[in-house]
């Protein structure tokens, strides 16, 4: 997992909680990297799991909720650091399909060794889209937070329904619907 994800996570913990809590989380997680990450480094994703579990234990906030909040935070950071990813997109429905076809291609140029999740999309009618997230890391909560952050970025009130696929533990289906266009 790319170090940028770790550095952004630590920044979020400092911003939303405190530097002291961030230090306690790192100490409790006892990761191999000992909480020292560079944005261009690559680290075992189990270190992120250990950090989030430690944060959950320290704050009594469930892990899924922390990961969703992190996904929202991460979307905001992507907007600030990579505004070109959002150029030409005017809505969640415009932007999300570009993640796989444009954003991930650009990320691979910056970080050729990045192991990225995959996303597939199906438009199933006006204002209705299915998005399938697939990753062996099981971070669908982060993906959900990224979707929520995208909706907030575009100022949209869309319905989001999540279905964890039982036949493929690495896949999650998200149904995104514009309630104004329901038939």
Same domain? 29 vs 99:
no
- pLDDT 10s digits, 62-96: 999 999 999 999 999 989 988 988 999 999 999 99
Same domain? 82 vs 168:
yes
What pLDDT score does 112 carry? 74
d(CA 149, CA 133): 16
123 contacts 129 by C-beta, under 8 angstroms? yes
- pLDDT 10s digits, 46-61: 999 999 999 999 999 9
For residue 22, the enclosing domain spans 3-61
Same domain? 144 vs 161:
yes
Same domain? 42 vs 110:
no
8 contacts 22 by C-beta, under 8 angstroms? no
Count: domains in the chain? 2
Q: Report the relative pairing of strands 171-177 and 118-125 from DSSP bridges.
A: unpaired
Out of 61, 88, 103, pick the residue that ends a domain.
Answer: 61
């Amino acid at each position: 997992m790319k170090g940028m994800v770790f550095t952004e996570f630590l920044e979020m913990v400092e911003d939303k909680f405190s530097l002291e809590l961030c230090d306690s989380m790192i100490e409790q997680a006892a990761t191999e990297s000992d909480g020292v990450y560079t944005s261009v480094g690559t680290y075992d994703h189990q270190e992120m799991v250990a950090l989030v579990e430690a944060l959950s234990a320290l704050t009594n906030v469930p892990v899924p909720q922390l990961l969703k909040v992190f996904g929202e935070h991460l979307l905001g950071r992507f907007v600030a650091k990579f505004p070109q990813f959002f150029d030409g997109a005017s809505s969640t429905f415009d932007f999300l399909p570009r993640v796989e076809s444009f954003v991930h291609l650009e990320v691979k140029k910056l970080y050729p060794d990045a192991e990225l999740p995959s996303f597939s999309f199906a438009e199933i009618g006006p204002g209705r889209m299915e998005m399938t997230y697939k990753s062996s890391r099981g971070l669908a909560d982060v993906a959900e937070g990224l979707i929520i952050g995208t909706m907030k970025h575009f100022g949209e009130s869309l319905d989001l329904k999540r279905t964890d696929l039982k036949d493929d533990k690495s896949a999650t289906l998200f149904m995104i619907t514009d309630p104004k266009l329901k038939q």
